[in-house]
Structure 1
């Protein structure tokens, strides 16, 4: 899809991690994700994955490329808390009003109340030289998981927010404690079982349908829970993901990371 959007736009107030800017369109049914015109990896990945039946269970629904109106004044949430401070900083560093080309994705948390969101970077290693030390010094090198963002609301007010800088410094034990906090729910046992089942289904999906993905570098798993008792897991962030249509061998690094997450959930 390529069209000129002249809709009401606002920065997506629920964003908790990442380098790209997300913009909410109109009633929030969709979000538009900025991306570099020099790097088409994410667009290529979504165009490839959407051809697989049932991909929406584990990935955002992809609606093509959208051209947003240039230089439109975007609204920013006025309530200032730790998450909003982080988001304002990201916007000041990364938002480019001259970049009008965005990926149009479903809003995974539309109308959700009392949100719990956890962004886990998956993988034990990276290829980019500047990131190698970061991975070696973090939980990524030990268990294939690193917290890139965590948000917990109660009565629709923010009570916990952690960003990627914090996630790089914590120990494995602190990461496990954060997962315990994330899953501290009245229906905890039910949601934990649901999480294990969904992760197992995701592993099967990757094993059966994603042999063409030769690298999952930079991919995250998003865990989402709201008052409507709707627990979701979604893979996100594919700017470094590489697809080779000729590949017939599964890249197992993401499976190892998901196995590690299952092991931790069983412990808690």
Structure 2
């Protein structure tokens, strides 16, 4: 799929974590995630998972690969708050205008008000040698969860933003307090129950449908609350995910991490 020059493009203002660059297209119904030509893991994963019935409940809807022309101008938001400062820094380090390949994904935050987003990296261990110490020093090694980003809006104004660097330094108790803050809502009990139920459904989906996924390394769970009563969870980030069609046993580490999250939510 190829897009013409007149396509309106802007950096995705709701991005709170990650290394890849997201481009919002036209009215924002879709976002395009930059994809390395030499690493097809994420593309392969989406092309595999999209054939499983009901995958959209737990994953972004995948609409294939798009080509964005390198000379297309991309607009950038003015720096007015801490989240946009972080995003501008990411863009300055990571955006490559010569990169044409993007994955076309559902925009999970379209038309949102009073948005709350929490990105939790899942897993107790990591394969990449340079990341081992990071995991051991963080909450990942203790509870299988690490905050990679958190954004809270009230009255459609940013009131809190935390990035991955902060998430690497906090204690388990501080992570739990952050979850309490995220769920500090007027309909708190309803949303907490919904979160527990959705995580249970996700675990069942993985157990029944994802035996071919032999590694979920680097995968995050995105918690999204918007418009006063709309809550969803989505698995994201699959650049290190590995699928083996011959596998008959699902990877247990992601289930352990989701169990840990459920236990924490039940306590708050």
TM-score, normalising length from structure 2?
Answer: 0.99
State the shift of 1:5 in Å: 3.9
The reply on whether 1:137 has 2:129 as its aligned counterpart is: no
State the shift of 1:80 in Å: 1.5
Task: Name the SS of the counterpart of 1:167 in structure 2.
Answer: helix
Q: Following superposition of structure 1 onto structure 2, how do residues 225-264 of structure 1 map, counting pairs within 5 Å?
A: 225-264=225-264
Paired residue for 1:9?
Answer: 9
Deviation sequence 1:101-132 (CA, Å, 0-9, x none): 10000000100101000000000000100000
Paired residue for 1:201?
Answer: 201
Paired residue for 1:159?
Answer: 159
The reply on whether 1:44 has 2:44 as its aligned counterpart is: yes
Corresponding residue pairs, total: 267
Paired residue for 2:89?
Answer: 89
Distance 2:112 2:206 in 1: 28
State the shift of 1:73 in Å: 1.5
Paired residue for 2:29?
Answer: 29
Distance 2:52 2:231 in 1: 23
The reply on whether 1:115 has 2:112 as its aligned counterpart is: no
Q: Which runs of 5+ in 2 are unaligned?
A: none
State the shift of 1:71 in Å: 2.0
Q: Check conservation: 1:116, 1:150, Cα contact below 8 A.
A: yes
Distance 1:127 1:106 in 2: 29
Distance 2:81 2:37 in 1: 32
Task: Name the SS of the counterpart of 1:4 in structure 2.
Answer: coil
Q: Which runs of 4+ in 1 moved over 4 A?
A: none
State the shift of 1:79 in Å: 4.5
Distance 1:71 1:153 in 2: 34
Q: Which runs of 5+ in 1 are unaligned?
A: none
State the shift of 1:47 in Å: 0.1
Q: Check conservation: 2:120, 2:147, Cα contact below 8 A.
A: yes
Task: Name the SS of the counterpart of 2:83 in structure 1.
Answer: helix
TM-score, normalising length from structure 1?
Answer: 0.99
Paired residue for 1:149?
Answer: 149
Distance 1:137 1:163 in 2: 17
Q: Check conservation: 2:79, 2:85, Cα contact below 8 A.
A: no
Paired residue for 2:19?
Answer: 19
State the shift of 1:237 in Å: 0.1
Q: Check conservation: 2:114, 2:228, Cα contact below 8 A.
A: no
Q: 1:5 to 1:143 in 2, by over 3 A?
A: farther
Alignment RMSD (CA, Å): 0.7
Distance 2:10 2:71 in 1: 12
Q: Check conservation: 1:122, 1:257, Cα contact below 8 A.
A: yes
State the shift of 1:200 in Å: 0.1
Distance 2:39 2:22 in 1: 17
State the shift of 1:4 in Å: 2.8
The reply on whether 1:66 has 2:82 as its aligned counterpart is: no
